[in-house]
Amino acid sequence: MHIKSNNLIRLMLLVLLATQISLASAGTGNQTTPEEPVETQSVFRTKPFLQNPIGGGITVSWFTHVPTHGWVEFGMDESLGTKMETLIAGQVVANVKQHKVRLNGLQPGQTYYYRVCSREVLTYGAYKKEFGEVAYSETYQFTLPDTKSPDFTAIIFNDLHQKKQTLQQLMTQLEGVNYDFVIYNGDCIDDPRSEDQVLNFLTFSNEQVNAAEKPVFYIRGNHEIRGAYSVEFNQLFDYVGGKTYGAFNWGDTRFVMLDCGEDKPDSHPVYYGLNSFEQLRNDQLDFLRHETKSKAFKKAAKRVLIHHIPLYGMDEKYYLPCAELWGETLNKGRFAVAINGHTHSSAYQEAESLGNAYPVAIGGGYSADNATVMVLSKTGNTLHLKMIGYDGTVLGDFYF
């Protein structure tokens, strides 16, 4: 009786052990090893995208589906080695879905490798925190601008109005163009209503231009400042100098970016008293006066002005306060060229043709008959602007 009882216990233990082994085997497929990052798609909502590669730094942004603790691992070769996360007032940013990490202290002209990492936060209690797996992106690379390297190539889009097909088609016309950075010159995202709507297009556009490796400058048009999400919209970006206008150097070329604001007066009933672009334009006059006297501006081999709404050649029935406010200061700036959008009709205005001291190139709209992309490149001391249409036709080829 005693022996039988022992056998029964042994049998029960064996059955229990077999069940545990079976359960563990079933779970093996879901387990991760350090060499095998999995389930990244369930964590990452977007790929990383680069912005603001100015002042020896660059900003890496990405979104996750779930709250995570995010950081960037980077280095001069693919072994990475350095880790950077974001701190706000003493706290590591965690338990969030939007991630923005600034890498500082980088060397100009140097190529860096990086990946973004997100550790899922399962519990973020006052006294207890629990974490899930770490998701890792692929390893990407970027190269910072160098004031000693005068050459660059930029691609510039305007007025895409969220037309994915147009962007895709224009990108096919850029095959073989090895660009260093990208500029969206306004009205690319239409009347932002929600984070979902904006991220849908932003994710697409960033993948199209490879924003994980090529930094992007986002300039607002009048359509980015309309809609329920238009205020929060600004938090998605890392503007140069923290403002929607500013200036930066790429090599020895100085770029000045302006924000023209809305295309109707602040007092227009459709704004319900919630706009104050008059103030923003006045602030930019102060900025321009300071900028055009700065050493960086004066020393630059070339100066490029870029803003959404043109200052010249517009029908007088439109509200156009910027030409009167900024015109005199800009005309003294010895700009090589100004690049605009907004009219949905590509054009080129010779210097001095309309009161403009510098030539003005205006990109087209979003449809097959008027969309354009511009390729701005500098070789040695020559700036070259090429305007390419939807079907690949070269609509303008200018040297400055």
Nearer to Fe ion, 48 or 310 (CB): 310
Q: Which residue has the tokens 């910027």?
A: 322
Phi, psi of 304 (to 5 degrees): -120, 130
Phi, psi of 66 (to 5 degrees): -120, 160
Residues within the interface to Fe ion (CB under 5 A):
159, 187, 221-222, 342
Nearer to Fe ion, 119 or 226 (CB): 226
Residue among 49, 44, 45, 41 at smallest CA distance from 236: 49
| Contact in structure between 304 and 383 (CB atoms under 8 Å) | yes
Residue among 88, 252, 74, 223 at smallest CA distance from 160: 223
The CB-of-384 to Fe ion minimum distance in angstroms stands at 26
The CB-of-157 to Fe ion minimum distance in angstroms stands at 12
The CB-of-343 to Fe ion minimum distance in angstroms stands at 8
The CB-of-239 to Fe ion minimum distance in angstroms stands at 19
Report the C-alpha gap between 87 and 235 in whole angstroms: 16
| Contact in structure between 180 and 214 (CB atoms under 8 Å) | yes
Nearer to Fe ion, 184 or 287 (CB): 184
Nearer to Fe ion, 19 or 318 (CB): 318
The CB-of-190 to Fe ion minimum distance in angstroms stands at 8
State which residue has the least CB distance to Fe ion.
Answer: 187
Nearer to Fe ion, 159 or 291 (CB): 159
Report the C-alpha gap between 270 and 362 in whole angstroms: 27
The CB-of-160 to Fe ion minimum distance in angstroms stands at 9
Report the C-alpha gap between 96 and 87 in whole angstroms: 13
Collapsed DSSP state (helix, strand, coil) of residue 165: helix
| Contact in structure between 257 and 219 (CB atoms under 8 Å) | yes
The CB-of-95 to Fe ion minimum distance in angstroms stands at 38
Nearer to Fe ion, 53 or 363 (CB): 363
Going 149 to 150 to 152 to 156, the CA torsion angle's sign is positive
Nearer to Fe ion, 129 or 318 (CB): 318
The CB-of-319 to Fe ion minimum distance in angstroms stands at 12
Phi, psi of 383 (to 5 degrees): -100, 135
Strands (E), 125-225: 129-136, 140-143, 152-157, 181-185, 216-219
Nearer to Fe ion, 59 or 222 (CB): 222
End-to-end CA distance of the chain: 103
